[in-house]
Amino acid sequence: MNYFEIFIVKPNRKMYRILYLLGFLFISCGSGVKQHKTVVKPIKKPGEKYNFIYQITRYYLHCGGITPTEEQRNRNSPERGTFILVNLDTKEKSTFTTDSLGRSKFYLKPAHYIIKEKFKDTTFKAFYKQYFQKTNKESAIVSKGKACYKNWWKTALVEFQIQDTTKVLSLQSRVSDACFTGKNPCLSFTGPMPP
């Protein structure tokens, strides 16, 4: 018997079953990674059929101590950004970006949907780790606790249902940042406003 004959094994039925099982397990484990499947794409070309229009604007708060002017009170602009459209019936998600008018158009199948900000598309543990801030008395920032963060993470910009695909549903939402705490609603500024 030479060196090479030691490693040659004649396959039998039992070995085929084991190889088949290992192959199946390998394929099953590899396909367990869940990624965003683009379920729906925003309508980009003129003339394409759509039944849902979403528009989002950003409101800029006046954070000074003096009475704001009319112009300062009405500071809105289209919000250009990336958002998540979730089909609540199938749990499928799609990522989309709004245009320069803060708008996106879709053709959606009948279902219940929500739209959330992209930064909320993570586990609560990761979200909490990234956005939690402790109360800071020196800067007059007070944290509202874990329950507030959980609620913020769950909250959608809009929730809606498509029933009749021949009618166009148009929805709008508005976002804004709080003075001195930004987009985090679980922080409060307790100090005096600047003059």
Q: Give the pLDDT of residue 123.
A: 95
Q: Give the pLDDT of residue 15.
A: 52
Over range 49-70, report the average pLDDT: 86
Percent of the chain past pLDDT 70, that is, above it, reads 76
Give the β-pairing of 52-59 and 76-78.
antiparallel
Q: Give the pLDDT of residue 160.
A: 96
Q: Give the pLDDT of residue 37.
A: 52
The Cα–Cα gap between 153 and 121 comes to 9
Q: Give the pLDDT of residue 39.
A: 53
Q: Give the pLDDT of residue 13.
A: 57
Question: Taking the domains of the chain in order of start, what are their residue ranges?
Answer: 35-121+156-179
Closest by Cα among 82, 76, 29 to 54: 82
Lowest mean pLDDT among 9-13, 38-42, 124-128, 145-149: 9-13
Under the banding of pLDDT at 50, 70 and 90, the label for residue 30 is very low
Q: Give the pLDDT of residue 62.
A: 80
Q: What is the architecture of the domain spanning 35-121+156-179?
A: Sandwich (2.60)
Percent of the chain past pLDDT 90, that is, above it, reads 50
Angle between helices 146-154 and 124-131 (to 10 degrees): 120
User: What rounded mean pLDDT belongs to the chain?
Assistant: 80
Instruction: Tell me: pLDDT of 25 over 50.
Output: no
Under the banding of pLDDT at 50, 70 and 90, the label for residue 148 is very high
Q: Give the pLDDT of residue 29.
A: 39
Under the banding of pLDDT at 50, 70 and 90, the label for residue 12 is low
For residue 50 the two structure tokens come to 């759509």
Over range 115-134, report the average pLDDT: 94
Question: How many CB atoms are closer than 10 A to CB 104?
Answer: 23
For residue 47 the two structure tokens come to 């003339």
The Cα–Cα gap between 48 and 164 comes to 18
